[in-house]
Amino acid sequence: MDAESLPAPLKSAVEGFERYLHGERARSAHTVRAYLADVHSLLGFAVQEGIRDLDQLELGSLRRWLGAQSEAGMARSTLARRAATARAFTKWALREELIATDPAIRLQAPKRVKSLPGVLQQQQVLRVVDSLDAAAADGGPLALRDRAMVELLYATGVRVGELAGLDIDDMDQDRRTLRVIGKGNKERTVPFGVPAALAIDDWLRRGRPALVTATSGPALFLGVRGNRVDPRQVRAVVAVLLQALGDTAATGPHTLRHSAATHLLDGGADLRAVQEILGHSSLATTQIYTHVSVDRLRKSYQQAHPRA
C-alpha cells in the first residue's frame, strides 16, 4: 500500500516522521527512503487488519507483520532492520503524543547473522588499478575520473555517498587530506596517499575541465553531463571493474571500503585510527575487520604450516 492509500491520520504520521528524519536526525536521503518503505509496509499491514488510527496499533500487529514477512522468506537482517524502524517510528509517535503507549518497546526480531565483508587481496587491488591506468592513458575524461574515484575510495575507505558529495574545496592537496561529511552530518578528516593524489590531480587538470558546465558548481566528480556524479554511477563503475577481475564474488564500492580497512589493519594500523578514518561511531563496528584479518591469517597458517 502506497502513502496516498493510507487513512489520513496514518498518512499524516508518516509525513511527520519523514520531517523528523530529515530535520532532527539529519538522515541521508537513502536512509530516509529505507525508513519510509518499512513504515509504509507496517502501516499497510495494519490497515489490512482494520487499523485506521496510529493509537490502535498494538504489539500483536507488529509481531504478525514481522511473522508474515518471515514466512515469505525475508532475510533475518531485513527483519531486524524493519523491527528497528518500527521501534524508532513508535518511539517518535509517543514523543509527539500520537500514541498513549509504545507498542514496539518489546518488539524483537531474529538476530542478525554477522558475516565477514567481501575483501580484495592486495594483488587484486593492484590489478584493478593497472586496468584503470591503462584506460586513463588515452586521456578520456571519464577514464581519468574513474581512476581518481577508485583510487580515492580505496585510499580513504569513504562511503560512496560521501565520495559523490565531495567538493573541490574539501581536498587539501598539499597535506593530502580530505574533509568528509559522514552519517549524521559528522565531519572527519581522512588522509590519502600519493597514488590517489596524482590521479586526482590528473582528473582536475585534464578530465574535469572537459566535462564542467555552468551547473557543475564545486562538485569534485562530475557525470557525463557535467552534473555532480550520482552514487549509482560510482557503483556501476566499480561493479564493472570487480566483475572484470574474474576471481572474486565481491561487488560494489563497499568492497573497496572493506579492503582499505582490512589492509590498514594487516599493515599494523591502530584499530581506533581505522575507526576514525572510516567514520564509525562505535569501535565494535570496526572490529569486524580484525576478524577478517585473523581469518586470513588462519588460512595462511593452515596452508603453510606442516603441522597445522
What is the tens place of the pLDDT at every residue in 36-50?
Answer: 999 999 999 999 999
CA distances from 7 to 44, 93, 288 (A): 10, 16, 44
To the query of whether residue 145 is one of the catalytic residues in this protein, the response is no
Phi, psi of 180 (to 5 degrees): -115, 135
CA distances from 2 to 15, 30, 65, 104, 295 (A): 13, 18, 16, 22, 45
To the query of whether residue 296 is one of the catalytic residues in this protein, the response is no
For residue 176, is it left (φ>0), alpha (ψ between -120 and 50) or beta? left
How many structural domains comprise the chain? 2
Nearest of 293, 295, 240 to residue 265 by alpha carbon = 293
Phi, psi of 53 (to 5 degrees): -135, 145
- Host H or E run for residue 46: helix 29-48
- Residues 213, 75: one domain? no
Cα torsion for 74, 76, 82, 88, to the nearest 10°? 170
CA distances from 289 to 23, 112, 248, 254 (A): 33, 17, 18, 13
Please write the tens of the pLDDT for every residue from 166-186.
999 999 999 999 999 888 788
* Dist CA 217 CA 39 (whole Å): 36
Selecting among 22, 91, 179, 183, the annotated active-site residue is 183
To the query of whether residue 280 is one of the catalytic residues in this protein, the response is yes
- Residues 60, 147: one domain? no
**pTM reported for the whole predicted model:** 0.63
- Residues 142, 50: one domain? no
Residue 103 lies in a domain: no
122, 263 Cβ separation under 8 angstroms = yes
Selecting among 27, 145, 208, 280, the annotated active-site residue is 280
Phi, psi of 193 (to 5 degrees): -95, -175
pLDDT of the chain, 308 residues: tens digit per residue: 555 678 999 999 999 999 999 998 888 888 899 999 999 999 999 999 999 999 999 999 999 999 998 888 888 888 989 999 999 999 999 999 999 999 999 898 766 555 556 788 899 999 999 999 999 987 799 999 999 999 999 999 999 999 999 999 999 999 999 999 888 788 999 999 999 999 999 999 999 999 999 999 999 999 999 999 999 999 999 999 999 998 888 888 889 999 999 899 888 888 888 898 998 888 887 877 776 666 666 666 677 767 65
- Residues 173, 243: one domain? yes
Residue 270 lies in a domain: yes
Selecting among 82, 159, 258, 263, the annotated active-site residue is 159
Selecting among 145, 257, 258, 263, the annotated active-site residue is 257
To the query of whether residue 263 is one of the catalytic residues in this protein, the response is no
What is the domain extent for residue 153? 122-304
- Residues 136, 273: one domain? yes
* Dist CA 127 CA 243 (whole Å): 12
- Residues 271, 171: one domain? yes
- Residues 153, 246: one domain? yes
- Residue 222: strand pairing partners: 228
Residue 1's pLDDT is 52
- Residues 191, 46: one domain? no
Residue 112 lies in a domain: no
* Dist CA 279 CA 189 (whole Å): 9
User: Which domain CATH number covers 241?
Assistant: 1.10.443.10
Show the DSSP H helices in 217-282 as ranges. 231-245, 254-266, 271-278
To the query of whether residue 289 is one of the catalytic residues in this protein, the response is yes
Residue 24 lies in a domain: yes
- Residues 129, 265: one domain? yes
DSSP string, 86-126: HHHHHHHHHHTTSSSS-TTTT---PPP---PPP---HHHHH
Decide: helix, strand or coil at residue 172.
strand
Please write the tens of the pLDDT for every residue from 78-133.
898 999 999 999 999 999 999 999 999 989 876 655 555 678 889 999 999 999 99
To the query of whether residue 64 is one of the catalytic residues in this protein, the response is no
